[in-house]
Amino acid sequence: MAEPRPRIPIAGAFPDKNSAFKDLTSDIFSMGKCTAEIFIKKSSEGLPLAREKLEMAERIL
């Protein structure tokens, strides 16, 4: 029988409890910003709503 894999305690996995969450949120907002930029470039009119979302993402970052 194979030995069970050791469990990593989640609380001790990161020195700062919020660091993983902050990294993840930053990545998500970065992806959203890139998506909005591509959408604006592909749009012939520039769509004001997409620009508003891009500006919001930049303010958050």
Q: Indicate the domain borders of the chain.
A: 19-60
Closest CA to 37 of 61, 4, 15: 61
Is 51's pLDDT higher than 70?
Answer: yes
Amino acid at 25: T
pLDDT, tens digit, for every residue of 10-44? 555 555 556 666 666 677 777 777 676 766 666 65
In contact, 57 and 33? CB cutoff 8 Å: yes
pLDDT score, position 27: 72
